[in-house]
Structure 1
Amino acid sequence: RFFQACLTKTDYGIKAQEYLTGRGITPEIIERFSIGVALPNYNALLSALGKRGCSAGLLVQAGLAVNYDRGPMDKFRGRVMIPIQDPRGHVVGFGGRILEQNSQQMAKYMNTGETEWFNKRTLLFGMNVALKEIKKRRQAVIVEGYMDAISLHAAGIDWAVASMGTAFAQEQAKLLARAADEVVFSYDSDAAGQRATVRAVSIAKEAGLKVRVLIVPDGKDPDEFVRKHGKDAYLRLIETAVSGIEFQMQYVISQNNVSNLAGKVEAVSNILPFLLECKNEIEVAQHIKTLAQRLTIDEGLIMSEYRKLSRKNDRGEAVSKWQIQPNVLSTEDLAEQLLLYVILKNTDLALVYRDKIDSVGFMSKFRGEIYEGLLKQLDAGSKSAADKLFTELSNEAATELAQIMTKDLAEENGEKLVDDCLRQMRRGALERSYEEHRLRADEYERLGDDRFLQELAESQKIKDEIKKLY
């Protein structure tokens, strides 16, 4: 109520109202979502609620104030304030969007931290206002951020909810499954949004939901698109949204150079686990047929690989890094992360092992970018290379670096750890090469081409090299 009063009864609130009007957010939508504004003062909320008997300590605990050296201050200042409510309409947290466009040093969006009431995994923004329409349509549109959801509601798409970030969770999927039969993901079209959609599709299917994916054209987010093109254009995007598995296949293919056999093998390997999530073999057969046509690979070979993987899955064996938990890494991923962690902490090792690391290379292009950036800093004579890397990297590589640097490892023997990581990375590279030659041998044998003997010999040679590593 305080934030709402600041919006409607202060001069600063006029600026916020102009911003909201410019985004097509009407007074009715402002009321529906209880939108307000935080004043730019350092203690406006602390003072107002303090007079009503609310202690600074409690506001800090709730994530609305922060303790500084000079004492507690308001966490949210100069922001449009959006209450985050549970499905019953209880306010459990807040999101704030910066108003001053010249405040580049400030984060554009900020949330209250998680508390015992506010757990993002169990909540969907807008569920309390969208629930009735979701139940009526048996469909929900899922976007990333609360401004996306609010803009869709303003345009009349009032069955939209937001996952408040790109980490869609099993708890959120189960929440939706109680109200809807189908979900349509409409995440941002950038690289992070697409990766998140790939994982989210699997999670939603696991909850028993039918899943489709809406691709917003021209790299726009849903908020920008619906404000520019309107409700009818967005409804057409919903109508033409592709199935979840179709999107996953398209994404994987786009991430591999399928003009050569190695890229095709990698693409098939990453797509097969998604096929295991299909409900029946008829659906699987159709997708394999489509995949074979796209990659110009024999349909029978893909089906054979699928059945092998299916048998592994039936025995409870792990089949892919794409499985439901998005943070589970393959051994090769982990080896690359650990290697970078060690050489970033001890840059002398980066120079000692430079030739060996170069000969193996990185499976992840973003981890490769981190490594090349580190060498560039070291070659320039920098003594604190890791500290300067963040400003030089792409957003995806910087995110990867931040994840790597949060690890907490004992480093009694850095050289041994580097050797172990390089061995695992080498094994991963050899296994991919082995699979490429084996599939090529199968294809040549099917065509009656004598070159299959050469490919078999090469695959056996690689298999022997793998054994020598351990």
Structure 2
Amino acid sequence: MAGRINEEDIAAVRERARIDDVVRDYVMLRNAGSGSFKGLCPFHDEKTPSFTVTPARGFYYCFGCGEGGDVINFLMRQQNLGFQEAVQILADRFGVELRIEDDGAPGQQPGLRKRVLEANEAAQEFFAAQLESAEAVEGRRFLHGRDFDRAVAQHFGVGYAPRHGWALHQTLKAKGFPDDVLKAAGLIRDGGRDFFTGRVLWPIRDSAQAVLGFGARRIYDDDRLPAKYINTPESPVYKKSHVLYGLDLARREIGRKQQAVIVEGYTDVMAAHLAGVETAVASCGTAFGEDHARLLQRLMGSQGGLHGEVIFTFDGDKAGQAAALKVFKGDQNFIAQTYVAVEPTGLDPCDLRMQQGEAAVRELVARRIPLYQFVMNNIAKSYDLDRADGRLAAAREGAELISAIRDQSLVNQYLRELAGVLGMDLDDVRREAGRFNRRGGPGHEPPPPPEPEESAVEPGWPNPDDPHLRLERDSLKLMLQHPITFDTAWNSVQEDDFTHPGYRAVFRLLSGVPYGDGWTDRVRAAAPNDLVAQLVVALLVEPLFREPDENYSLAHSARLQLSRVTREIADVKSRLQRTDPVKDPTGHRAQFAHLTQLEMKRKELQLVGLA
């Protein structure tokens, strides 16, 4: 989806979409008391329910696997959707009209996106029906020639656009779609003629099954448009750099297998899926780019380090080699290991399936090799390695590429393999690599690594059953679930009152977000990392022993501070015992005075804590 959803509309979706209603579509929930529900977690296998839903707070949390969030997070995780896709599905279900805003531009007309999607869906039904018409014989012959029968065409939603230039326009107009919506969707041109005529079409859907646009292939020699393929123009819902054909069919398997196979065309996606490679997708009318990489990263999960694998199918010719080199230079965009699957005969997956069968397509993917290895081998082929200057030139080109490798722990391995491919001494190749670095290029020393920011350091996950941390955990549960029972200074609670870094991080977080409407959502949004955000959710849904009031929270805060003061008293007593009052009378008196003050504070807190 192009643009950004208005924040007020997102808040309205969270408010109207009851989390228990949505979760019940996937999980059998049972009443667990205190206004919460329990069921078996849909995100991991378990026999004893540990998945908790708290409708009053709008959160879910699994105490078994640690998954948690709000209703939007749940739908994203369950259906492997992006944030905007999940919001749109919930908005449609619970009757919220979304306003789409472009950065630096006025907001999109309310409801336009929904009407465009409805028009696209109606167009898809029209095109699919037309494939059965007498006129579409050439379209059916095209599909049959690639071994795709009627059932396959229906499965992938393949359609046909009549050569009559007004057929779609007239049909959709009769269904009540105005011209401005059809034009915004890219279904008709300025003069009212259909955008697609006389072509076989494939619906391009997002991972939520919504039709965003179409890709169309030329099948007639007298087609006025010379391009073999044309696609829907940019629209409120279609942006070619953000979409992948086949994503609606592949998204679950991509998430499950942690793998994505990138092919070049619509028929290649069909052939791959029919052959059992159900993670295949293709870019639509544009080269695979950064936005596509981020989309796959989201589907496979961002868990730090290299995660999953992205496999590109390239031809072994020069065009395929150039495409591989382009992907390699953009490899920084992936959080996955990147591979290449090359068919030596130059056949694409569709032709490979027709000529050698479906097993050959599966074997093509299974024979994948690391992208860097493919690129290194092709560099070696570009130079005369029998000559010293040829080997040196190849080493320089390879070393420059290796200097941009995302995972620096792999650089030494890559240099060693490059040296082996070129038949050179490893130290000589390393010397060439030293001339390059990620930022400076040749002749620049790499800058020192930046110091990690405190907010970026993960605090670790505290054990919820640790009795020594129970007071800290219960105090934060009170603060998050019933903040109005505390004063604006959190009853004088300090960050040092918490001993576990995870709990300190949560208290630091909530202390920095002013209380008001949507406070818990803003606290989660401000979390420095996913671990802290998940810990906040866990604390929000864990039950309390009783319904608190101001006196209860005040007593609890006093007990928490009393624990800190008791620790400080033990520290001062230890230092006092090690201080000689004769040799250091000033230090001894100062520590004794401090101890006296702490003892007075302890008695004060004990009285409040007993209230």
Give TM-score, length-normalised by structure 1.
0.61
Q: CA deviation at 1:101?
A: 4.8
Q: Could you tell me which amino acid in structure 1 is paired with residue 204 of structure 2?
A: I
- Taking the aligned partners of 2:367 and 2:202, their CA distance within structure 1 comes to 31
The equivalent of 2:513 in structure 1 is none
Match status 1:136 vs 2:222: no
Matching residue within 226, 230, 233 for 1:106:
226
- Taking the aligned partners of 1:235 and 1:287, their CA distance within structure 2 comes to 27
Change (3 A) 1:304 1:319: closer
Does structure 2 retain, via aligned residues, the 8 Å contact 1:38–1:77?
A: yes
Does structure 1 retain, via aligned residues, the 8 Å contact 2:198–2:223?
A: no
Q: What is the DSSP-based 3-state SS (H/G/I as helix, E as strand, rest coil) of the residue aligned with 1:178?
A: helix
The equivalent of 1:308 in structure 2 is 435
Q: Could you tell me which amino acid in structure 2 is paired with residue 113 of structure 1?
A: P
Change (3 A) 1:72 1:261: farther
Q: Could you tell me which amino acid in structure 2 is paired with residue 122 of structure 1?
A: H
After TM superposition, which residue ranges in structure 1, 4 or more long, deviate above 4 angstroms? Answer: 101-105, 277-282
Matching residue within 141, 145, 148 for 1:25:
148
Does structure 2 retain, via aligned residues, the 8 Å contact 1:144–1:166?
A: no
- 1:157-194, CA deviations, whole angstroms, 9 ceiling, x for partnerless residues? 22211122562222211221233311111134443332
Q: What is the DSSP-based 3-state SS (H/G/I as helix, E as strand, rest coil) of the residue aligned with 2:262?
A: strand
Change (3 A) 1:318 1:166: farther
Q: What is the DSSP-based 3-state SS (H/G/I as helix, E as strand, rest coil) of the residue aligned with 2:193?
A: strand
Matching residue within 152, 157, 161 for 1:38:
161
The equivalent of 2:244 in structure 1 is 124
Q: CA deviation at 1:95?
A: 0.4
Matching residue within 202, 205, 209 for 1:85:
205
The equivalent of 1:352 in structure 2 is none
Q: What is the DSSP-based 3-state SS (H/G/I as helix, E as strand, rest coil) of the residue aligned with 2:245?
A: coil
Q: Could you tell me which amino acid in structure 2 is paired with residue 47 of structure 1?
A: Q
Q: CA deviation at 1:318?
A: 4.5
- Taking the aligned partners of 1:144 and 1:44, their CA distance within structure 2 comes to 30
274-283 or 123-132, which deviates more: 274-283
- Taking the aligned partners of 2:283 and 2:383, their CA distance within structure 1 comes to 28
- Taking the aligned partners of 1:203 and 1:57, their CA distance within structure 2 comes to 38
Higher-Rg structure is 2
Does structure 2 retain, via aligned residues, the 8 Å contact 1:7–1:37?
A: yes
Q: CA deviation at 1:205?
A: 5.1
Q: CA deviation at 1:111?
A: 0.7
The equivalent of 2:268 in structure 1 is 148
- Taking the aligned partners of 2:153 and 2:373, their CA distance within structure 1 comes to 37
Measured on the aligned residues, the alpha-carbon RMSD in Å equals: 2.6
Does structure 2 retain, via aligned residues, the 8 Å contact 1:189–1:221?
A: no
- Taking the aligned partners of 1:41 and 1:144, their CA distance within structure 2 comes to 30
Match status 1:198 vs 2:322: no
Change (3 A) 1:57 1:190: farther
Q: Could you tell me which amino acid in structure 2 is paired with residue 119 of structure 1?
A: K
Q: What is the DSSP-based 3-state SS (H/G/I as helix, E as strand, rest coil) of the residue aligned with 2:330?
A: helix
Change (3 A) 1:72 1:282: closer
Change (3 A) 1:111 1:304: same
Q: Could you tell me which amino acid in structure 1 is paired with residue 174 of structure 2?
A: K
The equivalent of 1:172 in structure 2 is 292
Q: Could you tell me which amino acid in structure 1 is paired with residue 278 of structure 2?
A: D
Q: CA deviation at 1:253?
A: 2.5
- Taking the aligned partners of 2:267 and 2:408, their CA distance within structure 1 comes to 40
- Taking the aligned partners of 1:42 and 1:279, their CA distance within structure 2 comes to 50
Matches within 5 A, 1:357-436: none
Q: Could you tell me which amino acid in structure 2 is paired with residue 26 of structure 1?
A: D
Q: Could you tell me which amino acid in structure 2 is paired with residue 107 of structure 1?
A: A
Q: CA deviation at 1:51?
A: 2.1
- 1:323-377, CA deviations, whole angstroms, 9 ceiling, x for partnerless residues? xxxxxxxxxxxxxxxxxxxxxxxxxxxxxxxxxxxxxxxxxxxxxxxxxxxxxxx
Give TM-score, length-normalised by structure 2.
0.47
Q: Could you tell me which amino acid in structure 2 is paired with residue 134 of structure 1?
A: I
Q: CA deviation at 1:39?
A: 0.6
Change (3 A) 1:89 1:201: farther
The equivalent of 1:291 in structure 2 is 418
Matching residue within 318, 335, 338 for 1:211:
338
- Taking the aligned partners of 1:169 and 1:209, their CA distance within structure 2 comes to 15
Match status 1:240 vs 2:240: no
Change (3 A) 1:5 1:281: closer
Unaligned runs of 5+ in 1: 321-470
- Taking the aligned partners of 2:344 and 2:321, their CA distance within structure 1 comes to 13
Does structure 2 retain, via aligned residues, the 8 Å contact 1:25–1:154?
A: no
- Taking the aligned partners of 1:284 and 1:93, their CA distance within structure 2 comes to 42
Q: CA deviation at 1:245?
A: 0.8
Q: Could you tell me which amino acid in structure 1 is paired with residue 424 of structure 2?
A: I
Q: What is the DSSP-based 3-state SS (H/G/I as helix, E as strand, rest coil) of the residue aligned with 1:300?
A: helix
Match status 1:59 vs 2:179: no
Q: Could you tell me which amino acid in structure 1 is paired with residue 287 of structure 2?
A: A
- Taking the aligned partners of 1:295 and 1:206, their CA distance within structure 2 comes to 28
Does structure 1 retain, via aligned residues, the 8 Å contact 2:234–2:240?
A: yes
Q: Could you tell me which amino acid in structure 1 is paired with residue 395 of structure 2?
A: V
Q: What is the DSSP-based 3-state SS (H/G/I as helix, E as strand, rest coil) of the residue aligned with 2:436?
A: helix
Change (3 A) 1:48 1:262: farther
Q: CA deviation at 1:259?
A: 4.4
Q: Could you tell me which amino acid in structure 2 is paired with residue 211 of structure 1?
A: T
Does structure 2 retain, via aligned residues, the 8 Å contact 1:79–1:99?
A: yes
195-204 or 80-89, which deviates more: 195-204
- Taking the aligned partners of 1:275 and 1:119, their CA distance within structure 2 comes to 32
Change (3 A) 1:26 1:132: farther
The equivalent of 1:254 in structure 2 is 381
Change (3 A) 1:292 1:318: closer
Change (3 A) 1:266 1:260: same
- Taking the aligned partners of 2:163 and 2:406, their CA distance within structure 1 comes to 53
- 1:413-439, CA deviations, whole angstroms, 9 ceiling, x for partnerless residues? xxxxxxxxxxxxxxxxxxxxxxxxxxx
- Taking the aligned partners of 1:196 and 1:282, their CA distance within structure 2 comes to 25
* Alignment: residue pair count: 312
- 1:90-127, CA deviations, whole angstroms, 9 ceiling, x for partnerless residues? 11111001222565963211111122311122221111
Structure number with higher helix proportion = 1
- Taking the aligned partners of 1:286 and 1:270, their CA distance within structure 2 comes to 17
The equivalent of 1:275 in structure 2 is 402
Q: What is the DSSP-based 3-state SS (H/G/I as helix, E as strand, rest coil) of the residue aligned with 2:157?
A: coil
Change (3 A) 1:64 1:149: same
Name the % identity: 31
